[in-house]
Amino acid sequence: MLAGVRLARTETLSLDRCDGRVPASFSVTATIDVPPFSNSAMDGFAVRAADLPGELDVVGEVAAGAGSLPPVGKGEAVRIMTGAPLPPGADTVVPIEDALETGDRVRLPARERGTYVREAGHDTPTGASVQLPEAALEAATVAVLASLGVAEVEVRRRPRVAVLSTGDELATPGGALRPGQIYDANSFGLGVAVRESGGEAIVLPLTADDPALIERRLRDAAASADLVVVSGGVSVGRHDHVRDVLERRGRLDFWRIAVQPGKPLAFGEIDGRPVVGLPGNPVSALVTFELFLRPMLRAMLGLPGDGRIHVLACATESMPKSTERRAYLRVVVARDGDGYRAAPAGGQQSSQLRPLAAANALLVVPEGEPAAELGRAYEAMLIGPPA
Ligand code: AMP
Ligand code: MG
């Protein structure tokens, strides 16, 4: 699925609008020293260390932002503020707390040369290649770019992801349910999942289990989106048409995976756009989104992997699963001594949606095993902070 992913195109944004966006390049070359000049780390006196200890003449003052600087000669001190440029001749700053002032003279203790001086370029020297975290831009990284004088950043455009929910039984929250109807959870849940993964969600109108309509919607979606996500109708029921439409009108690469929840996952394309068919069940849809679509969206943004932390966690109880399939159990992971433990977040049937909302991790229990065993450690993929 990742093999066919194309990198999103880029756009240039001003620095004040780039947070939450993924930079097109994770390396920036510094064109200036940061800080640009040697300056004081304290409010105090700029002096020559060789004159210390001693009583010195106070010959001037430099505040932050000062452009012209009084030189510091032998036996002299200049009053200096935090962030002010170190005047010529001075090599050391003595904080005001250590000074004894009488009139125009100041008595200062001995200090090592260079004390409380921030050298030019000590944070970042000119020409340094500054590596940005492979992630969406956050406060500290934006601050680093600002300190380098960067005013605009080239970022990846958000991949446009069409979200299409299919099913004759679906009704939109806000209206009343007619007999046999349920509320559509996927248009909303998947829309949020797309946005949380860095994409732009284009949520299409609810679509009945009608092959002609599904085909029309898929083609419309393919025309306006980089990736099409369709939920429902990918299984073997008489009214499951999505897979059929892909097979006849597009391309179907595969449509079943040994994963629980989420067996009937389909992948293919229509009109040259990748289409992922998710199981209609909201638990299965959201878990398979996490496993397959989130990495795809990240790859489009130039980001590696799934962006999740994986830890080892010991099962607090035995949790049964399908032996043939790899299970992603909905669990709550909490610290336990030097490690972590995983307790079920609730029932593990794929029709039980609330435990997914309560879970902060998916516990990965391998295919070939009938259950997660009490006390055994399994890989837990954190989808929220540990409890
Ligand atoms: P399907 O994949 O179409 O066989 O649907 C599997 C189960 O998920 C059925 O119980 C559907 O009613 C339910 N389902 C399908 N789509 C949605 C949706 N958008 N929101 C909530 N439940 C759904
Ligand atoms: Mg259905």
Can you give the length of the chain in residues? 387
Q: Which of 307, 294, 308, 242 is nearest to 5 (CA)?
A: 294
- Closest ligand 1 atom to Cα of 264: 2
Indicate which residue's Cα is closest to atom 3 of ligand 1. 232
The alpha-helical segments, DSSP class H, found in the chain are 139-147, 186-196, 211-224, 242-249, 282-288, 294-300, 354-358
**CA–CA distance, 290 with 362 (Å, rounded to integer):** 10
User: Which two structure tokens, joined as six digits, stand for 43?
Assistant: 């409010």
pLDDT in tens, 264-318: 999 999 999 999 999 999 999 999 999 999 999 999 999 999 999 999 999 999 9
For residue 32 the two structure tokens come to 């200036």
The residue type found at 280 is: G
Residue 284 Cβ inside 6 Å of ligand 1? The answer reads: no
Any atom of ligand 1 within 6 Å of the Cβ of 237: yes
Is residue 189 within a helix (H) or strand (E), and if so which, with residue range?
Answer: helix 186-196
Report whether residue 204 contacts ligand 1, using a CB cutoff of 6 Å.
no
Task: Please state, in angstroms and rounded to a whole number, the distance separating the CA atoms of residues 327 and 314.
Answer: 15
> In the predicted model, is pLDDT for residue 103 greater than 90?
yes
pTM: 0.94
pLDDT at 4 over 90: no
Is 386 a residue whose pLDDT tops 90? Answer: no
Ligand 1 pocket, mutate which of 257, 281, 283 (most atoms under 8 A from CB):
281
Instruction: Check if 165 has its Cβ closer than 6 Å to any atom of ligand 1.
Output: yes
**Mean pLDDT calculated for residue range 79-97:** 98
Backbone phi, psi, residue 55, to 5°: -105, 120
* Closest listed residue to residue 90, CA positions, set 118, 126, 123, 122: 118
Q: What is the pLDDT of residue 387?
A: 85
Query: What's the 359 CA to ligand 2 centre distance in angstroms?
Result: 26
- DSSP assignment of 217-281, as one string? HHHHHHHH-SEEEEES--SSSTT--HHHHHHHHSEEEE---SEES----EEEEETTEEEEEEPSS
- Residue 213 — pLDDT band, cuts 50, 70, 90? very high
pLDDT value at position 187?
Answer: 98
Domains recognised in the chain with CATH numbers: 10-34+122-156 (3.90.105.10), 39-118 (2.170.190.11), 160-300 (3.40.980.10), 310-382 (2.40.340.10)
Ligand 1 near 184 CB (within 6 A): yes
Q: What pLDDT does residue 194 have? A: 98
Contact 169 CB / ligand 1 (< 6 Å): yes
- pLDDT tens digits for 132-188? 999 999 999 999 999 999 999 999 999 999 999 999 999 999 999 999 999 999 999
